[in-house]
Structures are given as structure tokens and as C-alpha cells.
Amino acid sequence: MLNLITRIIAILAMSATLSTPVFAEQLQSILARGEVAIGVPENFPPFGSVGKDFNHEGYDVDVAGLIAKDLGVKLKVVPLTSKQRIPFLSSGKVDLVISSMGANPKRAKSIWFSSAYAPFFSGAYARQGVNVSNYVDLKNYKVGVTGGTLEDLTLTEKAPNGTDIVRFGDNAANISAFVAGQTDVLITGNIVAAKVISENPGKKIEPKFIMRESPCFIGVRQGETNMLQWVNVFILHKTLGGDLNELSMKWFGQPLPPLPSL
């Protein structure tokens, strides 16, 4: 009887092993093979996209480069669509995902998240001299927003009654009106705003206040405690050392704001 029980336990243990992907301790495995595979956005500038030289570039790509440098290994860039991020990480096709990914309870059932490494938010933007620091101040200006977006819903809910809100059919029309001076305040996401600021340096456009925050987190495979710890130390080090602030200025045109830690 004892031998039978022992055999049953062994069979069950073997079945569990076969049904679950087996990975070596990830951090040491990366160091041993001398390469880290990191998933980055396929076409989501300024976080990640194909540049003029046909190499991938962007904030997330630069962060991936810093990770490889600090690990002392070669970087393998793996371009991903948003739907591929979690499957590629869970299956081991990539070691980490740095792809403008927000953290939420549903995703946390499948993967782990680092502390936040990048800002992603909607806000109000205007030229220097336009005195806007909150929703109440918007009542004094003509405010442009792309209709039907989350920014529009938030603005409609929180702007004071009587605010002159001009809704446009798409981002291009919203931006064109703002650059032409037909509106005083541009309501949009920081990605769109970064491009507007970089393309119109003479307009002296600056962020006025943040409306909605959704910072980005690095995806780590479940169970990889050492990898998660290393990534969080990396983010802390690059935040305190100013590296992430430099990348924020480079790609978003603004200083790195305070970001949450997990």
C-alpha cells in the first residue's frame, strides 16, 4: 500500500510539472546567456516605433537599452502589439515587457508589475502666459478637445458651467485649431502633446495641469521574484540618478513627474 501511495504522489507531481511551463531562475539565466529579450511597442510613438534608420526608437526602447546595459548583456528588441504583451511574457518569448502598459487587477492575474517607470496621462496644455492651473481657470478661455474621448468625458464632468468647450472630430483638427490660435487651451494626452510641443517650439507651449493619470509599468513573468526585485532597484536607481528624467525630457518634452511604486 505504501509503495502504491508513493507511486501515485510521484505521478501527480510529474503531471503538475508537465502542465506548467518550466523556466530556470530568470535573472541568472539572462546573465548566463548574455542576452535579454524585451518586448517594446511596435507602433506607438514616442514610446516605441520604427525610426528613419529602420531601427526601433522611443522612450520604452531607451529604457530597455538601459536595462541591458546595467545587466551587462546584449539587448534583443522584440516589437509587440498590445495584444501580444502578456502572451509573449507568459510563454517565455520575452523576458520583460516595456510597452507603455498600465497595471490593473485583471492583468495582475497573469503577470507581475514593477513600480511605474513612465508617465502616461491626459492634461491641459497652453502657451506661456495663459493662466490655467485647474478646471476652474478653464472658464476664462476657449478650450479645445477631441470629441468622444476620455479627455472629453472628464472635461465635460469637471469643467465649470459656462466653459467655452470646442469639440473636434479628431486629434488633427483639435491640434490644428490650437496651433492656429483658434483655441487657447489644448486638452489631450501627453503623447500627443509632446509631438505638438516639439513641432512648435516658437509657440512656447507648456503643460498646465494633469487631468487623468495612467502611468506605465514593466511587465515581469509571474514567480520571478529576483527579476522583479532587480527591475524595481533599476527603476529606483534611474529615477534618483536622473536618467528617466532625461528620457522624459527627450521623448515627452517635460520633466518626469512623481510616479507610484508597487
The domain 121-213: what is its CATH number?
3.40.190.10
Query: Taking 50 as the threshold, does the pLDDT of residue 17 lie above it?
Result: no
Q: Which amino acid is at 258?
A: P
Under 8 Å CB-to-CB from 181, ≥6 apart: which residues? Answer: none
C-beta of residue 217 within 8 angstroms of C-beta of residue 99? no
User: What strands, in cross-sheet order, belong to the sheet with 111-118?
Assistant: 74-80, 35-41, 96-101, 216-221, 111-118
Mean pLDDT, rounded, for 36-60: 90
List pLDDT tens digits, range 191-246. Answer: 889 889 989 999 999 999 999 888 999 999 999 999 999 999 999 999 999 999 99
Mean pLDDT, rounded, for 115-142: 95
Predicted confidence at residue 22, as pLDDT, reads 47
Predicted confidence at residue 238, as pLDDT, reads 98
Residue 50, C-alpha cell as written in the block: 520604427
- Which segments of the chain are extended strands (E)? 35-41, 49-50, 56-57, 74-80, 96-101, 111-118, 121-127, 142-146, 164-168, 185-189, 205-213, 216-221
C-beta of residue 252 within 8 angstroms of C-beta of residue 210? no
C-beta of residue 164 within 8 angstroms of C-beta of residue 184? no
> How many other C-beta atoms can be found within 10 angstroms of the C-beta atom of residue 41?
25
List pLDDT tens digits, range 194-207. Answer: 889 989 999 999 99
Specify the domain boundaries for CATH 3.40.190.10 within the chain: 24-120+214-252, 121-213
The reply to whether the predicted model has a pTM over 0.85 is: no
183-186 — which CB contacts under 8 Å span 24+ positions? 183/142, 183/143, 183/144, 184/126, 184/127, 184/130, 184/141, 184/142, 184/143, 185/124, 185/125, 185/126, 185/130, 185/132, 185/138, 185/141, 185/142, 185/143, 185/144, 186/124, 186/125, 186/126, 186/144
SS3 of the chain: helix, strand, coil, percent, to 5: 45, 25, 30
Instruction: Indicate the CATH number of 24-120+214-252 among 3.40.50.300, 3.40.190.10, 1.10.600.10, 2.60.40.10.
Output: 3.40.190.10
Short-list 192, 42, 61, CA closest to 117: 61
List pLDDT tens digits, range 58-67. Answer: 999 999 999 9
Give just the sign of the alpha carbon dihedral 237, 111, 93, 97. Answer: negative
Mean pLDDT of the chain: 90
